[in-house]
Amino acid sequence: MRATFMFRAGDVRVQNTPDPVLRYPTDAIVRVVRACICGSDLHPYHSLPETPGGTTMGHEFIGVVEEVGADVATVKKGDFVIAPFAVSDGTCEYCREGLHTSCEHGGFWNDTELGTGGGQAEAVRVPLADGTLVKVPGAVDESLYSGLLSLSDVYGTGWHAAVRAGVTAGDSVAVIGDGAVGLLAVLSAKQLGAEQIVLMGRHRVRTDLGREFGATEVVAERGEEGIARVRELTGGRGVRRVLEAVGHLPAYEQAVGIVRPGGVISRVGVPQYRDAEIGWPFFGKNTTLTGGPAPVRAYIEQLMPAVLDGTVQPGRVFDREIGLDDVPDGYRAMDERTALKVMVKP
Amino acid sequence: MRATFMFRAGDVRVQNTPDPVLRYPTDAIVRVVRACICGSDLHPYHSLPETPGGTTMGHEFIGVVEEVGADVATVKKGDFVIAPFAVSDGTCEYCREGLHTSCEHGGFWNDTELGTGGGQAEAVRVPLADGTLVKVPGAVDESLYSGLLSLSDVYGTGWHAAVRAGVTAGDSVAVIGDGAVGLLAVLSAKQLGAEQIVLMGRHRVRTDLGREFGATEVVAERGEEGIARVRELTGGRGVRRVLEAVGHLPAYEQAVGIVRPGGVISRVGVPQYRDAEIGWPFFGKNTTLTGGPAPVRAYIEQLMPAVLDGTVQPGRVFDREIGLDDVPDGYRAMDERTALKVMVKP
């Protein structure tokens, strides 16, 4: 089959590779119907060192089950499934608490221990299929693909940001970042009843979609100017909940600057830094910092009904569809920001 | 009157200074019955630059109201009162939310804007007396002084650590630091129903008191060894709630090392650092960091009854009583760790 590999920063190739086969009785083989490229794939796209043999890419996909191992009980051949961006057994202490990204037997799609391939491919071996995959009920119309695909990562990740931040009815919220996760954090905050949603971003097409998702104000300024602008919009106090969906240090510093005393910063952008400000400016106002890799598996069943019945359209973050062989162009387009989020049809 | 001033690191003096007088109609003058020296006073004791005229010291005291301004309604001459370590109006948006340390009109005892003196003195002008002071009901026996004094800071601060961490029945908790706040964080975690309370400290007399307050295990090791030991005590997973009551970087790093995935680090030790690890080791396990200067004012009414009826004895953290003129020796004793917490009788 064809699958995507990255060999070093900027070097993405789609190559022939052996078809995946069942390795354990808990495995399933899923034929990919749609996959996508993630904002977080751009981090290795900028920084991956020379990697002989390449590293397998893609952690978001929906597809049809082709084959299951003897111990798989919850999905069967022919089922339409969503694969979250993390593999999880669904039974360990962490999974039972809804923290599937810390699963004791799980891992990520490019996890060498799990030995599985990425989702930007024609098919994938899914370990721990009962814990990992979620069956979509009924017949699945193609018009639903983008929304269902968003449940594999970006929608659940935006939702995680809002849930961890404790967004509740009447809240003031700021979302930092107008990528797919940021926009879906806006949508999530809106669903949770936030009254004021300030979206910090500077790409007009994206922030326009953010407004449709529920943003009440858009702040294009960054740094001290951006902080001053958000303070101005919140009576000088700052916002109660900051959802940080970027992962770079300036975004975090912005979050510290705009959070209200007693407020929460919830990060879902994978931090591209190690140390950052948690001294007096942060501590003195009793700030809470939370978030992390979203256990999207915990949210899929809850979020899926409104996607299926069209109440929400998280799939609108996909603004380009390409074939598998065009994946390298898809990376380039997302890197150059000519595409917001690229869907891949193998 | 006599009052305590610090002129530079290590240089504490008790001097004559004018008696405090009412300046605003919302002020009260309180004659100090007992004050104390705080672990956080040791930070300037180590680092204060040359300060001509000196800086006023002490932020914890109990006393008797001597005089009140025309607008003061909740306390009157002769009342026995507890003064929390922060001044607050009790009416602003933050106070109404219980975040008195962010009061829009308040501040700290050595706040030059408030222009008040510290508590290590014979008397203090208390701004915003209605918001700040809490009247102790009934006759107050001398045996209660230490417990009531602990409500002005260390007990409320330990309580804040536990409350912000979300300690609940059956929880696993670790407390880092065997100072007065750490020990009272142990007591607070116990009151909130924690099942396992690991106290990290190496001063036997202190950790013994910690055991009496509810610690189920004591870990004297620090750094990697300490982390390994706590992991061993928690089935390899780490603790759900870490209460950090030190404020130095190694204590924070220890907290990150021992916190369970999905767990909380709650800091109440004033951080003596600016930047620290909040990258993948922290983010990857969905750690929450919270805490800050404790709004002890919010907790006094709730915690006082058990102090008055002897259900808890937080005052046991005071292991030495000195006169006001001996305050410089008190600082030395706490710095050399020959005293845990020093009570001052003016």
In this complex, do A291 and B273 lie within 8 Å of one another by their Cβ atoms?
A: no
d(CA A100, CA B92): 41
pLDDT confidence band for B101 (50 / 70 / 90): very high
Does the pLDDT value for residue B289 go beyond 90?
yes
The predicted model gives A184-213 an average pLDDT of 98
In this complex, do B276 and A271 lie within 8 Å of one another by their Cβ atoms?
A: no
- Across chain A, what does the average pLDDT equal? 97
The predicted model gives A177-193 an average pLDDT of 98
pLDDT digits (tens, 9 = 90+) for A79-92: 999 999 999 999 99
CATH 3.90.180.10: does it fit domain B2-153+295-345? yes
In this complex, do A284 and B267 lie within 8 Å of one another by their Cβ atoms?
A: no
In this complex, do B284 and A292 lie within 8 Å of one another by their Cβ atoms?
A: yes
Domain ranges of chain B: 2-153+295-345, 158-291
Give the pLDDT score at B112. 75
Q: Percent of chain B having pLDDT more than 90? A: 97
d(CA B108, CA B89): 12
Give the residue from B172, B239, B286, B297 with the most A CB atoms within 10 Å of its CB, the best one to mutate: B286
Distance from the Cα of B288 to chain A's closest Cα (Å) equals 4
> What is the ipTM score, two decimals?
0.96
In this complex, do B286 and A164 lie within 8 Å of one another by their Cβ atoms?
A: yes
Does the beta carbon of B291 lie under 8 angstroms from any beta carbon of chain A? yes
In this complex, do B290 and A289 lie within 8 Å of one another by their Cβ atoms?
A: yes
CB-CB contact of B260 with B282 (8 Å):
no
pLDDT confidence band for B62 (50 / 70 / 90): very high
Chain A residues 39-98 within an 8 A CB cutoff of chain B: 93-94, 97
Give the pLDDT score at A115. 87
The predicted model gives B302-323 an average pLDDT of 97
Give the pLDDT score at B115. 87
The predicted model gives B93-105 an average pLDDT of 97
Q: Using CA coordinates, name the residue in chain A closest to B261.
A: A102
The predicted model gives A18-30 an average pLDDT of 97
The predicted model gives A154-168 an average pLDDT of 98
Does the pLDDT value for residue A111 go beyond 90?
no
Q: Using CA coordinates, name the residue in chain A closest to B292.
A: A286
d(CA B334, CA B325): 16
The predicted model gives B275-291 an average pLDDT of 97
Asked if domains A2-153+295-345 and A158-291 share a fold, the reply is no
Distance from the Cα of A6 to chain B's closest Cα (Å) equals 22
Cβ contacts of B276 on chain A, cutoff 8 Å: 275-276, 278
pLDDT digits (tens, 9 = 90+) for A245-298: 999 999 999 999 999 999 999 999 999 999 999 999 999 999 999 999 999 999
CB pairs under 8 A between A and B: 105
In this complex, do A271 and B283 lie within 8 Å of one another by their Cβ atoms?
A: yes
Cβ contacts of A267 on chain B, cutoff 8 Å: 283
pLDDT digits (tens, 9 = 90+) for B222-257: 999 999 999 999 999 999 999 999 999 999 999 999
Nearest-10 crossing angle of helices B154-165, B180-191: 50
In this complex, do B102 and A285 lie within 8 Å of one another by their Cβ atoms?
A: yes
What letter would DSSP give residue B145? H
The predicted model gives A216-227 an average pLDDT of 97
d(CA A26, CA A23): 8
**How many of the other CB atoms lie within 10 Å of CB of B33?**
18
Nearest CB partner across the interface for A271, out of B278, B286, B292: B278
pLDDT digits (tens, 9 = 90+) for A136-160: 999 999 999 999 999 999 999 999 9
Chain A residues 92-151 within an 8 A CB cutoff of chain B: 93-94, 97, 99, 101-102
Does the beta carbon of B277 lie under 8 angstroms from any beta carbon of chain A? yes
For A158-291, CATH number? 3.40.50.720
Give the pLDDT score at B42. 92
- Across chain B, what does the average pLDDT equal? 97
Does the beta carbon of B249 lie under 8 angstroms from any beta carbon of chain A? no
Q: Using CA coordinates, name the residue in chain A closest to B266.
A: A288
In this complex, do B276 and A280 lie within 8 Å of one another by their Cβ atoms?
A: no
Give the pLDDT score at A112. 75
The predicted model gives B7-27 an average pLDDT of 97
pLDDT confidence band for A104 (50 / 70 / 90): very high
Does the beta carbon of A328 lie under 8 angstroms from any beta carbon of chain B? no
